[in-house]
Amino acid sequence: MNFGNRTPTIVVLKEGTDSSQGRGQIISNINACIAIQETLKPTLGPLGSDILIVSSNQKTTISNDGATILKLLDVVHPAAKTLVDISRAQDAEVGDGTTSVTILAGELMKEAKPFLEEGISSHIIMKGYRKAVQLATAKINELAVDITSNNTDSRELLERCARTAMTSKLIYSNADFFVKMVVDAVLSLNRDELDEKLIGIKKIAGGAMEESMFIDGVAFQKTFSYAGFEQQPKRFTDPKVVCLNVELELKAEKDNAEVRVEHVEDYQSIVDAEWQIILDKLKQIEDTGASIVLSKLPIGDLATQYFADRNIFCAGRVSTDDMIRVIKAVGGSIQSTTTEIQPEHLGTCKLFEEIQIGSERYNLFKGCPKAKTCTLLLRGGAEQVIAEVERSLHDAIMIVKRALQNKFVVAGGGAIEMELSKHLRDYSKTIAGKQQLMINAFAKALEVIPRQLCENAGFDAIDILNRLRMAHSNGEKWCGINFETEDIDDNFAKFVWEPALVKINALGSATEATNLILSIDETIKNQESQSANAGMMPPQGAGRGRGMPMQ
């Protein structure tokens, strides 16, 4: 036989590289994403269950927050990681709806799977989904209600949005208490910026959840203190506050410094000079008239005693975050030197006090006139409980923030999903071809939210979905699930409200993730090194291993 014209085999990829492609690869990726969806499904809604996750270092977390669960699951499948990413993006962008967006993305992929198995091109499915999400987004914008158009008190509207965000959380039984706290916290921020990072959250173990406190200023844990601290006053009314980035401590010689002296008097003059430098600094601080001295750097025992003798409170080693928030609350600015401190550089508040909370002591700055920040002191019986309370409050804070920025809301409890589903089904009847099937599949996927809400609550999902479909076909656009009566109801009238932005973002992210998975036609996975000797040449005299190229 003539082998002269045969093209030689060219090996481009390293031996051991796993390469899989084609329709089977897309379906395999979809199955991985559906597995993630199945994990999160039971946590959706007001009657969803929590998941207990034990990490590799044996730290336990109890949560029903989608983003938190996915972050702790340590997903290794490359395609399934896209669901983790969209969940985190939803958390960062709008703060809530992290479980919904993952479940929705998984359902869109599940609906696309039969079409792929029948041989329909993934690009046709992607085109249909893109059209469907455009129609759905336009419909949300059309349906969304501007909550500022009526004369209702805006605070009341924000409280309703916060309450809806808490329905599926651990703190729902204490919703009345926490709703007020969340709205107060967001309203204390600068309206132009609304930077939620300026809401300080401190977790203090022990006590009941309702013993949590809202501080209209700053609170931070008592810093490391030296002898003389106990003699300082711990309560001031209308104090002046000076914030420093200066170390007030006698410094020992360092860096192998060497000072040569010929007489004992010379050595004494060096010691005296050191003392004089720090005493001058302390006198300059005292002359400012400040009653409270805070510093990012240590305040030593000499300075602590000096301030105690003059009825001045001091705290050193204050963290940068706490110091920034103190400045935001009391006014003034951080000084890097003790000279030339002017009155405008000092801050003030109505009340400063150091109090015992649980087993810790906290410094509280209350009634700050320039406050653009606040602090929430959270209590709870167990560390995991307080951590979940913090995550729940974060979601509610983000929802209230978005409601302030974007005044449009829609009804929750599966109402908006059912209305969008009806709208897309009606549209699909007006077009022909394969796109009709794709838009219909998108409409069917939207029903996963109300269906899962029913299943988690133990309701008859088929019965309630049929009643919801009938109600929406009769024009009841805000009809959703009523968890109290196990029936359907007008959720807008019952104030189950969610910012329209949450739904728009969730739909867009879920569709993008689905289209990304559908567009992956090939996966190439490089084999990881199996041992320390991987890649080394075999020893002399060793035979050829299987798969080694012949010379």
Are the CB atoms for 389 and 208 separated by under 8 Å?
Answer: no
Give the Å distances, CA to CA, from 80 to 56, 73, 438, 511. Answer: 20, 11, 23, 14
For the record, the structure tokens of 265 come out as 């008097």
Rounded CA-CA distance 235/1 in Å is 101
Active-site entry in 99, 102, 348, 514: 99
Rounded CA-CA distance 551/544 in Å is 10
85 noted as active-site residue: no
Give the Å distances, CA to CA, from 200 to 40, 103, 186, 214, 361. Answer: 29, 31, 11, 10, 17
Rounded CA-CA distance 102/516 in Å is 14
309 noted as active-site residue: no
Packed helices 23-40 and 500-519: angle between N→C axes, nearest 10 degrees: 150
Integer Rg of the chain from CA = 32
Active-site entry in 43, 61, 98, 514: 98
Are the CB atoms for 349 and 236 separated by under 8 Å?
Answer: no
Nearest residue to 419 (alpha-carbon basis) of 218, 182, 144: 144
DSSP state of 76: -
Distance from CA of residue 73 to its chain's centroid? Answer: 16
Rounded CA-CA distance 314/230 in Å is 11
Are the CB atoms for 481 and 74 separated by under 8 Å?
Answer: no
Active-site entry in 91, 96, 216, 395: 395
99 noted as active-site residue: yes
Return the bridge partners of 54, or none.
60
192 noted as active-site residue: no
Are the CB atoms for 362 and 372 separated by under 8 Å?
Answer: no
Active-site entry in 43, 61, 65, 91: 65
Local structure of 313: helix, strand or coil:
strand
| Residue 474 dihedral angles phi and psi, to the nearest 5° | -90, 5
Which residue type does 396 have?
Answer: A
Return the bridge partners of 293, or none.
242, 314
The residues that are catalytic are 65, 98-99, 395
